[in-house]
Amino acid sequence: MAEPSLREEAARRGIEHGYFDGAGDWCEADDATLRALLEALGPEVAAEAERVEPGSIDIPGQCHLPAVLADGGKAWGLSIQLYGLRSRHNWGIGDFGDLAILAERAARAGAAALQLNPLHALFTARPARCSPYSPSSRRMLNPLYIDISAVPELALSATAQRYLGHARFGARLAALRAAPGVDYAGVAALKLPLLRLLFGEFMDRHAAANSPRFREFVAFREQGGQALEDFALFEALDARLARSHPGGWPEWPAALRDRDHAACREFAERYPLEVLYPVYLQWLARCQLQQAQERARAAGMAIGLMADLAVGVDRIGADAWCDQEVLALDAEIGAPPDAFAAEGQAWGLPPWRPQVLDARNFAPWRDLLSANMMGLGGLRIDHIIGCERQFWVPRGCSGREGAYVRYSRDALLDVLADCSWQHRCLVIGEDLGTVPEGFSERLAGLSILSTRVVRFERYPDGLFRRPQTYPSLASACAGTHDLPPLAAWLEPQMPSSSDSEEIQLLEAALADAGLAPDSDAVEDRIAAVHGFLAATPCCLVLVQLEDVLAVREPANQPGTGPEQPNWQRKYPVDLACLNEQPAWLATATLLGRAGRAVSRG
């Protein structure tokens, strides 16, 4: 039991003194945990002067709902892992060119949206760190997604053409395309040198002449402001220091750990092109992403591309270096013990300090949302419950040694609604797990779509909830990136008694809804689950491309390490052949029919 003064101080600072685990048992936080979290939380911060945020507008107190979902409308979308797309032109990793093509094909099949994995910037100098949910920066994009064939400088560079024409290059590219998974290091080794050549071509041809293309680049850089400049400086420094300092910026020379130190300014002045190069990559990535959205909308996609906002960033990444005050670097976001993780979870992602967010008038949150909503149709927010409270674990400890820390929920959600209207961006909240009392109602009041996963929607006795009981203001789906795809769930290779019982309960729910599969074939059983989703009143139904193609391997297996190819698996079908897949056509027909029926009302 914590000593009274320690307990009182923790409560005053928003640290809860215990939690309920997955079994419903109360776990009291001990003195060591409370002290460690108070230390990680850091001192209280004086509020900045009140300011008017640029672009702030009067809003109706709710998030934006696109017309296709308003007034009882219903639509469907496809959920994909962009890196996993196969095509005859990409370089071993799905790119923004693939994205545009897939968006057009999905739009023609009747999809209103294309949900993406997080596109956040990872580690250019450390490509093996490939989890999109442990990024270097949540405000910037991953340059490995750039479609090099669409970069205008490519056709102008004789050096680049020689690079592409080399036999050794052709063999390496063929191997990367044929590989069953994404070889991030191999892709980076092939793509980044050529992108550097194209940057040189760009500067030689456009900078001195101050061409229209160069002026567009300058405008992008100016719009990116200090955040873009800081990120570019970090990228340049990390490129220099990654090999000698494998632990990242916390191991850099002391002067370079401080963004505002004179040594950082001197580096930028001495190596201006090294700092400008990451800006060029961000410009290319942002332009190509925007072009993919424009092509999706032009093809008839009512919502278009939907981004995914990860819950945090890696502590050795750019965002942590750029703003060390806002992050509690001695804590990790995690989860209490439950049936999936007996010791709880600690994800290695430092949480935001709530007192710093409050003092800054929530500007970091607003800036983050704007960077991810800009030009897109929707944003999924991973672990949106973090707007009310996050489970903090002292760095290096197990999830059992954590506690919840409270945030200014209403203010954070109001900023979310404001940004949603400014960018006309749909918001989906991933509100799975233990939901605090009143939180779901607050989301619904703001027109934020809840996330409803079939396998988690149960009555107290364990039976699957029937489709008519689902809420309308929700996104319904069969699974998530952390769960086995439907093919593996419905037809496990080594079924246990619990697996068999769960499948029987699901089959009963399908039969009760008049959706029993046509046969025992896994494809028909997957189609029945998709029909179940379509039968719910949820305004948006999302199906995973993995399930359309009956893939068995998950994108990610939580709790595993390098022994599993997490975030590397490719889809088994080339993008050019997708329209030939019977399951693709059947899924589009099924979900399109359900959407039109509800829309006609």
The 10s digit of each residue's pLDDT in 451-496 is: 999 999 999 999 999 999 999 999 999 999 999 999 999 998 888 8
Domain with 440, as residue range(s), is 27-600
Residue 583 inside a domain? The answer is yes
| Residue 3, pLDDT score | 63
| Residue 600, pLDDT score | 34
| Residue 494, pLDDT score | 82
| Residue 50, pLDDT score | 54
Residue 287 inside a domain? The answer is yes
DSSP letters along 212-259, please? HHHHHHHHHHHHHHHHHHHHHHHHHHHHHHTTT-TT-GGGS-HHHHST
CB 179 within 8 A of CB 157: no
End-to-end CA distance of the chain: 58
Residue 498 inside a domain? The answer is yes
Q: What total of structural domains would you count in the chain?
A: 1
Residue 7 inside a domain? The answer is no
Residue 6 inside a domain? The answer is no
* Integer Cα distance of 346 and 169 in angstroms: 41
pTM of the model: 0.95
Residue 1 inside a domain? The answer is no
| Residue 49, pLDDT score | 57
Residue 3 inside a domain? The answer is no
Mean pLDDT by 10 residues, the chain (601 residues): 80 95 91 97 82 49 93 94 97 98 96 98 96 98 98 93 93 96 97 96 92 97 98 98 96 97 98 98 98 98 98 98 98 91 93 98 98 98 97 95 97 97 97 88 95 95 96 96 94 85 95 94 96 96 97 91 92 95 93 58 31
Instruction: Look up the CATH number of the domain holding residue 586.
Output: 3.20.20.80
Residue 269 inside a domain? The answer is yes
Adjacency order of strands within the sheet including 304-309 = 426-429, 378-381, 304-309, 113-115, 75-79, 540-544, 474-477, 450-453
Place of tokens 């190596």: 271
The dihedral built from the CA positions of residue 366, 372, 376 and 377, taken in this order, carries a sign that is negative
Name the residue among 166, 163, 167, 185 with its Cα closest to residue 176. Answer: 185
Q: Strand, helix or coil at 174? A: helix
| Residue 338, pLDDT score | 87
